[in-house]
Amino acid sequence: MKVNSEEPISKPDLYVLARVIKVLKERKSLKRTSLATATGMSYDRLVKYLDWMSDKGFVNFNSDDEVLLTKLGNETYDRLVNWILHYVGKVRFPKFSD
Amino acid sequence: MNEDNLSSKMSEFMTALDQVKKYREIVASLTDFTIMILGTIVAAISFNNFMRLHSLFITADHGQNIFAYFLFFAIFPAGIIAAVWRVRQRVKSVKPSEWKTTLNEGAAGALKLIQELEWDNIFSSIRYAKLGFFIYGIAKILVYWGIATGALYVLNWGVQWLFHMNMDLFLVVALALVVVVFLNRNDLRKRYEQIGRLDWLLWELRWFESEFRGADFEA
């Protein structure tokens, strides 16, 4: 099922995207209201993100209208982790003593 | 597993920034430190002047004189201890690891922490931290030098009284500096190394900031 919203998001906040995926990874399937509570987002904002994520194929909806994470969504999260690690991992932090 | 690696790397990242905040606080507390040291000197001079004035009108016995001398010399260590304590308290007031809850969110938390970093502020903090580390080190040496000079002066006075041997004042001051530098050699080495590490951190973070800013994640 596709969610309609007035102003679709063009470029998502990666932090929000990661949170939504993380919650779905842990909880498997959730109603939109529960997902909004779990991610600490407003319902309207979440709906816009779900719309965008659904377009990209990261989530889909089951017959009970619950949100499910797709394989692609799962892989995207892993890619995101690797992407951050690619940059953070290259930084060599000195050890400071007190 | 990669998420664990990310959390561990981000922990290193944020711990290094916590340390910078602590060093930055040293710079901020230098004003307090200077005021307290100057206050101590003013208090000691005022006390000395008061005692001189007092002696014009009232003749103190031997015991009272010794007590007055003790008070005069106690002002310096008391002031110095208070000033160093003040710096330490301010550094301790920096709360470390406040980012741990955010980092528990995994990649999302890591992203949030990176997004919220104020890079200009971080770079300026590192520069100030370097300066603060250097100035605080010099200030500590100067203060210890003052104490050592005072102590050696008293010792010299005792030796002169007992054995009628006198050491030149210039020698007393120079010897005090040598003693202080020798006793603080580890602290000086540590300070030099920390400044080098701060430089290293500055370069690493500059690289990260420019790379990450230009990067774009294709979802």
User: Domain residues of chain B, as ranges?
Assistant: 1-116, 118-219
User: Using CA atoms, how far apart are residues B91 and B28, in angstroms rounded to an integer?
Assistant: 9
A6: nearest Cα among A36, A44, A41, A34: A44
- pLDDT tens digits, one per residue of B88-103: 899 888 888 889 998 9
**Residue B31 burial (CB < 10 Å; 0-12/13-18/19+)?**
exposed
Which value, in Å, is the radius of gyration of the alpha carbons in chain B? 25
Per-residue CA distances from B187 to B16, B131, B190, B191 (Å): 20, 16, 5, 6
State which H helix or E strand residue A67 sits in: strand A67-69
Question: Which pLDDT value is given to residue B1?
Answer: 56
Instruction: Please determine, for residue A38, whether its predicted confidence score (pLDDT) is greater than 90.
Output: yes
Residue contact B111–A84, C-beta within 8 A: yes
Q: Are B205 and B123 in contact (CB under 8 A)?
A: yes
B101 is written with which tokens? 């809850």
User: Using CA atoms, how far apart are residues B104 and A74, in angstroms rounded to an integer?
Assistant: 19
Residue contact B10–A56, C-beta within 8 A: no
Lowest mean pLDDT among A10-14, B108-112, B152-156: A10-14
User: Using CA atoms, how far apart are residues B179 and B185, in angstroms rounded to an integer?
Assistant: 10
- pLDDT tens digits, one per residue of B13-57: 999 888 888 888 888 888 898 899 999 999 989 988 888 888 777
Residues of A in contact with B190 (CB under 8 A): 97
Lowest mean pLDDT among A43-47, A63-67, A90-94, B74-78: A90-94
Minimal Cβ distance to B13: which of A77, A79, A93: A93
B207: nearest Cα among A88, A54, A48: A88
Here the ipTM equals 0.74
B167 is written with which tokens? 């050491």
Instruction: Write down the domain spans for chain A.
Output: 14-88
- pLDDT tens digits, one per residue of B174-197: 999 999 999 999 988 988 888 898
> Mean pLDDT across chain B, nearest whole number?
87
- Pairs across A and B, CB distance < 8 A: 89
Architecture of domain A14-88 in this structure: Orthogonal Bundle (1.10)
Q: How confident is the model at residue A14 (pLDDT cuts 50, 70, 90)?
A: confident
Q: Are A82 and B2 in contact (CB under 8 A)?
A: yes
Q: Which residue of A has its CA nearest to B107?
A: A81
What angle (nearest 5°) sits at the alpha carbon of residue B15, between those of residues B12 and B20?
A: 125
A56–chain B Cβ distance below 8 A for any pair = yes
- pLDDT tens digits, one per residue of B128-145: 888 877 887 888 898 889
Residue contact B6–A12, C-beta within 8 A: no
Question: Which pLDDT value is given to residue A97?
Answer: 64
Q: Average the pLDDT over B201-216 and give the result.
A: 84
